[in-house]
């Protein structure tokens, strides 16, 4: 069975928690995989990652329990073919706007006659030709997640959800907020309301739906709204938060009277002359 599909089915009441991997670094990806996340998106849309680099990322994450999802840069069959040959098992497609685009996404992941994926005998996906009957089972083992990132896409949600081969939907708050006229305001009440409505629709349709939040509080809110799988921030965002917090904790303002203490650490002296 597809690993991501299996994760969703086995999760029960425990919503799978993931993160974005934007660093394009196998070492960071492997570390994040050991941090306790259930799934992670290896991003090729906004990260400086090509197919050759993707192989190293998949090898690194394969050393962990984190289920990898590869987000391709666009709904383009040639890119998808190479990503699947590199060993991706679940593909996320950005900016899907209609049922027709969802059908094209699914077709790119399927061998004929169900789709248009090109055939190769020796690839990392086939364990270099050692997987018996790989081609016969590949179509049912590849997962497809489509991203809905505009009001128009959400209007088409019921039709997109019904496309055979679409395993799950994903609502992107950042692009949705921009498309709704609230650029940089992913938590705008109108955006949150639209996302909650989409999650409720998916529940009625029986289609898993996920999203991403920039903080634990946001993720909790999305989970309460009915999202079935959630992600928090990214490897780079989490790294920067920790780095900035550490630097800020040791930095003092110009002119501050600073006291260094083994017991209390470094702090400013509140006494006045």
Task: Read off the pLDDT of each residue in 225-230 and give the average, rounded to a whole number.
Answer: 98
pLDDT band at 251 (very low <50, low <70, confident <90, very high): confident
Q: Please tell me the distance from the alpha carbon of residue 157 to that of residue 114, in angstroms, as a whole number.
A: 23
In this prediction, residue 256 carries a pLDDT of 65
In this prediction, residue 265 carries a pLDDT of 67
Active-site residue set = 46
Pick the range with the lowest mean pLDDT from 60-64, 127-131, 212-216, 252-256.
Answer: 252-256
In this prediction, residue 253 carries a pLDDT of 66
CA 182 to chain centre: 22
Task: Read off the pLDDT of each residue in 32-53 and give the average, rounded to a whole number.
Answer: 98
Pick the range with the lowest mean pLDDT from 15-19, 64-68, 70-74, 265-269.
Answer: 265-269
Q: Please tell me the distance from the alpha carbon of residue 62 to that of residue 164, in angstroms, as a whole number.
A: 28
Q: Inform me whether the pLDDT recorded for 273 exceeds 50.
A: no
Q: Higher confidence at residue 226 or residue 252?
A: 226
Q: Higher confidence at residue 266 or residue 6?
A: 6
pLDDT in tens, 101-149: 999 999 999 999 999 999 998 999 999 999 999 999 999 999 999 999 9
CA 5 to chain centre: 14
Q: Inform me whether the pLDDT recorded for 272 exceeds 50.
A: no
Q: Higher confidence at residue 260 or residue 197?
A: 197
SS3 track for the chain: CCHHHHHHHHCCCCCCEEEEECCCCHHHHHHHHCCCCCEEEEECCCCCCCHHHHHHHHHHHCCCCCEEEEECCCCCHHHHHHHHHCCCCEEEECCCCCHHHHHHHHHHCCCCCCCCCCCCCCCCCCCCCCCCCHHHHHHHHCEEEEEECCHHHHHCHHHHHCCCCCCEEEECHHHHHHHCCCCCCCCCHHHHHHHHHHHHHHHHHCCCEEEEECCHHHHHHHHHCCCCEEEEEEHHHHHHHHHHHHHHHHCCCCCCCEEEECCCEEEECCCCC
> Do the beta carbons of residue 222 and residue 209 sit within 8 Å?
no
Task: Read off the pLDDT of each residue in 9-18 and give the average, rounded to a whole number.
Answer: 93
Task: Read off the pLDDT of each residue in 80-102 and give the average, rounded to a whole number.
Answer: 98
Q: Inform me whether the pLDDT recorded for 224 exceeds 90.
A: yes
């Amino acid at each position: 069975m597809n690993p991501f599909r299996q994760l969703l089915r086995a999760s029960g009441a425990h919503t799978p928690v993931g993160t974005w991997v934007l660093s394009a670094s196998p070492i960071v990806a492997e570390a994040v995989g050991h941090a306790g996340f259930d799934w992670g998106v290896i991003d090729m849309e906004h990260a400086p990652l090509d197919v050759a680099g993707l192989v190293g990322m998949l090898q690194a994450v394969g050393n962990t329990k984190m289920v990898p999802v590869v987000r391709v840069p666009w709904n383009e069959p040639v890119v998808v073919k190479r990503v699947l040959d590199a060993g991706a098992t679940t593909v996320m497609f950005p900016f899907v706007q209609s049922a027709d685009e969802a059908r094209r996404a699914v077709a790119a992941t399927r061998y004929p006659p169900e789709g248009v994926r090109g055939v190769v005998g020796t690839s990392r996906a086939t364990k270099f030709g050692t997987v018996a009957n790989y081609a016969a089972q590949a179509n049912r083992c590849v997962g497809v997640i489509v991203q809905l990132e505009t009001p128009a896409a959400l209007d088409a949600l019921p039709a997109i959800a019904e496309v055979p081969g679409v395993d799950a939907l994903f609502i992107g708050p950042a692009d949705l907020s921009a498309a709704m006229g609230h650029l940089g305001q992913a938590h705008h009440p109108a955006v949150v309301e639209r996302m909650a409505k989409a999650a409720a629709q998916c529940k009625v349709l029986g289609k898993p739906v996920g999203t991403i939040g920039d903080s634990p509080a946001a993720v909790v809110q999305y989970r309460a709204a009915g999202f079935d799988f959630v992600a928090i921030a990214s490897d780079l965002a989490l790294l920067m938060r920790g780095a900035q917090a550490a630097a800020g904790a040791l930095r003092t303002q110009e002119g501050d009277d600073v006291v260094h203490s083994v017991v209390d650490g470094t702090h400013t002296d509140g006494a006045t002359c």
